[in-house]
Amino acid sequence: MDRDKLRAVEGLTIFLDGKIDEDATKALVIMTAIVLDAFGDSPQPTTLEEAAILMNAAGVLINAGVRASDIEALGSGEEWMTRIVKSGLLIDTRFESAAIYNLANSRLAIAEFEIDPVQGDARDSSHTVTYAQQRFDARERLRLARIELDSAAALADGGRDRGMRLCNLANTLDHSGRWIEAYDAYVRALKADPENGNAAGNAAVLISRAIGAGWDFEGHLCSLYDHYLAMAKANRAGTVAVAGEPAAQRFDEMDLLGTDHPVHDPIMSADPYGQWIIRHRLALVAALEGLGSNGHTGRWDTIGLRSAAAPAPAARPLVIFRILNVLKADYLVARRLAFEADQLVEQDGGRTQHSEDPGVYTDTLDQAVHGEVSAKLVLAHRAALDVLDKTAVAVNEHLQIGDDPRKVWFRRFWFEDKNCTQLRASLISNERLIMPVLAMAELAIDMAEGSLYGHAQDVRNAGTHRFVFVHLGMQDIPTTATMRAMTLDAMRETCHQALTVARAAFLYLVALLDVFEASKATTDEPEDSASRPMPSA
């Protein structure tokens, strides 16, 4: 490539980056012309230097395309960035995370360009249906963007960059009704960069919607809302730096609630198991943090369907309450197994067999983690992801969809066809269910191979049908068709992820059932129906 032309692209990129706010259309026209002149009609870098310069140019084109609402420019930016990432030239360089991040942002910008900008909590139900359908139609771009944002965050060198990537991941999850996962991503963003006022403010907005939807049964969400809104106000400069003045003004206009309810119950939080649950945010409660507070001493996982309409002659609890009890217990056992394994690992790093394990194991001379520790992690992981299929069975039963329960799978249930190209008509015929169904459908898409949680699903399949071999990582151990090799740290991480996903699915299930029951209450019910509250143990 002509060196003078390459230098011209580099210099003009820096200049135009500062001119986007003045005239975005002019900036993208000039940027496109100079890149095509230097790289040709289909820009393809062949060296690290070319890839880095083209990446920065594509970033300017994407930003200008967003400002100018120019879908053609955004498409070009996505195309250039895709070639850069696929070239492999930036792997293991300081540019890799930025390239993947820019590619994800181009995908999000194109998807959002084609979606009505009013979010899915809009007051008009017909608009919500349109919004949800448009997001589902953009599912492949959004799926890729979620993977790329997560990957870019993992590769980021600094806390600020990691926080920005995780905040964008949280935003796109939240826009699809996946507020549990979104909240976790906001927390991770703030852990990486405590001065990210945009992440804190967006977390407050998410929490305010949950409060408005009636989820704050115990007062914790109001406290959490104040906590994050105060963070956003205190870090206004950080918001302006990453999201602009309009975002900061939005948080300026939001009022603190002034609640003094503690986010964590100090008595319940003193238990080691409770502390572990709090640290990993794994409680089945209406509070996003902590264990909640209730009248059941020592019992934390209180979330459930509050009431359900049933024919008046029915003397026994509805089947859905039995289902939720079993499903909750399955999750709690999986969580307990993971906790027990973590406790043992923290004692000696998994290097020795614990004293209560009665097994005699052959030394395979490869630093294997034999015995109950590895088995508990694998079983906890498998049991957690089994919850997903059962959430689909629960919806099938309570909404009377009519599928054979023996042939219901989470990854297929929410769709009309096997290729998952249409949301299931029998589920979204009730317009109020479309956002909860979209959340479940996207989560199902993210369980597929190569998607956000594809790795967790793959480990689950290996643990169910084959073998998972856990080792300390002192040497490379290949994975085969029979046995998947994983380091202890990786197995613990994927186990925690499986529990996080299962918790999200359970809470989404309860939200979906709540909406379904509320929609029944607003229709003309026959005189022989009655509302039954959730029974207490």
Give the pairing type, strands 529-533 and 483-487: unpaired
Alpha helices in 124-269 (DSSP H): 125-137, 139-155, 159-175, 179-192, 197-212, 220-234, 236-243, 245-252
Residue 444 and residue 382 share a domain: yes
Residue 497 and residue 349 share a domain: yes
* The pLDDT of residue 531: 46
Residue 310 and residue 407 share a domain: yes
* First CA to last CA distance, the chain: 74
Residue 22 and residue 73 share a domain: yes
Nearest to 506 by CA among 452, 448, 439: 439
Cβ atoms 61, 32 nearer than 8 A:
yes
Out of 114, 148, 170, pick the residue that ends a domain: 114
- d(CA 25, CA 398) in angstroms, rounded, equals 53
* The pLDDT of residue 125: 73
- d(CA 60, CA 33) in angstroms, rounded, equals 13
Residue 258 and residue 322 share a domain: no
**Report field, pTM of the whole predicted structure over 0.85:** yes
Q: Answer yes or no: is 143 within a domain.
A: no
Q: Answer yes or no: is 144 within a domain.
A: no
* The pLDDT of residue 220: 78
* The pLDDT of residue 308: 83
Q: Answer yes or no: is 141 within a domain.
A: no
Residue 370 and residue 473 share a domain: yes
Could you tell me the residue range of the domain that residue 174 belongs to?
Answer: 156-263
Residue 110 and residue 173 share a domain: no
The number of folded domains in the chain is 3
Mean pLDDT by groups of 10 residues along the chain of 537 residues: 90 94 94 95 95 96 94 96 97 96 96 72 71 96 97 94 97 96 96 96 94 74 92 95 91 90 63 90 86 65 84 65 96 97 90 87 90 94 96 96 95 95 95 96 96 93 92 91 95 96 97 91 51 43
Q: Answer yes or no: is 241 within a domain.
A: yes
Residue 249 and residue 331 share a domain: no
Which residues have CB under 8 Å from 136's CB, separation 6+?
423, 438, 441, 442
Amino acid (one-letter) located at 421: T
Nearest to 62 by CA among 150, 158, 168: 168
Q: Answer yes or no: is 138 within a domain.
A: no
Residue 171 and residue 92 share a domain: no
Residue 508 and residue 410 share a domain: yes
Q: Answer yes or no: is 338 within a domain.
A: yes
Residue 311 and residue 254 share a domain: no
Q: Answer yes or no: is 463 within a domain.
A: yes
Q: Answer yes or no: is 251 within a domain.
A: yes
- Helix (H) or strand (E) holding 263, with range, is none
Q: For the domain that residue 196 is a member of, what is the CATH number? A: 1.25.40
* The pLDDT of residue 533: 46
Q: How many CB atoms lie within 10 A of CB 535?
A: 12
Residue 349 and residue 251 share a domain: no
